[in-house]
Amino acid sequence: MPKVSIGIPVRNGERYLAATLDSLLAQTFADFEIVLGDNASNDRTPEIARHYAARDRRVRYWRSPRDLGAVRNHNRVLALATGVYFRWNGYDDLCAPTYLEKCVEVLDADPGAVLCHSRTRIIDGEGAPLRWDAPSGMLVDRTGLVRIERPDPIYARSPDPVARFAEALAATVTCHHALGLVRIGAMRRVGGLGPYRSADRALLVLLSLYGRFAEVPETLFMKREHGRNTRLLSRLGKARWAGTLADLVPGAAKLEEWLRIGRGILDAPLSPAERRACLLLGGSKVARRLRLRHPGRNEAAR
């Protein structure tokens, strides 16, 4: 059994997959497996994946003959993982050679930490860092088409699960920590990703109930943002990416997210008082969102 499992969900990733695999196979920490989940690719992805699987026994290749949608493919590689720690790695993202070594060291030394990630640099399709655009308050690429918030800073570091939950509700925006190294038992306990596009937010909120989030204070992860990323897709394209219709129905994905968080609170290892506090926090968050979307007559008049 390897110490670490790295799940790479991919569909038609021929442009970047080899570079991503090279960056992972160059890790200074060697006790890992790569689970490549090919979601019915019709480009050179199968050829590239089979080449790497034949070259290095740590690469395991699984291919679906039909398009499962990205969420099911993410959960499929999680189900196939055999390690103690697990992380998803985008087929187009890169890791510095010491990424795994540093994150494993943190989790091994701190049983109270459920997740560890490094600082993140956002790069474009050619590997160049995005620049900060002060007027818009966003990171932008050279074309101006890719615009994204800065990666979330580290949060959920308190020993108190209620405090961590409250921080995760407030601070989870870009969700880069969902690509960190996680204790696989907790990842499976929360159920991986839910059946809608923004499920990584609920995943992080629920993981905060299982332990602290930790960060390696070095930039060892490069997240690639380019034209095929989901943030640039239409509503229909995002629904197809997720493999669900929830994103086509106004409010359906958000309702599913809050139901998932509510069920996760009930299932988490909390005391009755902690569970009540988290349910109240979640309920008040939902109520505030409803008030903002559907203001009463007096609020609307203002």
> Does 116 lie in the same domain as 78?
no
> Does 159 lie in the same domain as 14?
no
> Does 130 lie in the same domain as 119?
yes
- What is the tally of structural domains in the chain? 2
Q: What SS3 class is residue 302?
A: coil
> Does 219 lie in the same domain as 85?
no
Closest CA to 139 of 221, 17, 226: 226
Q: What is the pLDDT of residue 256?
A: 84
Length of the chain: 302
Amino acid making up residue 220: L
How far apart are alpha carbons 153 and 167 in whole angstroms?
11
Q: Is residue 136 part of a domain?
A: yes
Q: Is residue 198 part of a domain?
A: yes
Contacts of 294 (CB under 8 A, 6+ apart): none
How far apart are alpha carbons 39 and 268 in whole angstroms?
31
> Does 84 lie in the same domain as 104?
no
> Does 103 lie in the same domain as 192?
yes
The model's pTM: 0.90
Q: Is residue 103 part of a domain?
A: yes
> Does 109 lie in the same domain as 14?
no
- Choose the final residue of a domain: 67, 92, 117: 92
CATH number, domain containing residue 73: 3.90.550.10
Q: Is residue 299 part of a domain?
A: no
Amino acid making up residue 70: A
Q: pLDDT digit of tens for each residue in the chain (302 aa)?
A: 999 999 999 999 999 999 999 999 999 999 999 999 999 999 999 999 999 999 999 999 999 999 998 999 999 999 999 999 999 999 999 999 999 999 999 999 999 999 999 999 999 999 999 999 999 999 999 888 888 999 999 999 999 999 999 999 999 999 999 999 999 999 999 999 988 767 899 999 999 999 999 999 999 999 999 865 545 555 555 555 555 655 556 567 778 888 999 999 999 999 999 999 999 999 887 766 655 554 543 433 33
Q: Is residue 300 part of a domain?
A: no
> Does 290 lie in the same domain as 211?
yes
- Choose the final residue of a domain: 34, 64, 92: 92
- Choose the final residue of a domain: 92, 108, 129: 92
> Does 112 lie in the same domain as 260?
yes
Determine the structural domain holding residue 202 and report its residue range: 95-179+187-294
> Does 166 lie in the same domain as 77?
no
Q: Is residue 117 part of a domain?
A: yes
Q: What is the pLDDT of residue 263?
A: 95
Q: Is residue 301 part of a domain?
A: no
Q: What is the pLDDT of residue 301?
A: 37
> Does 172 lie in the same domain as 104?
yes
- How far, in Å, are 16, 36, 37 from residue 13 at the CA level? 6, 11, 11
Q: What is the pLDDT of residue 284?
A: 83
> Does 240 lie in the same domain as 118?
yes
Q: What is the pLDDT of residue 247?
A: 55
Closest CA to 7 of 194, 219, 178: 178
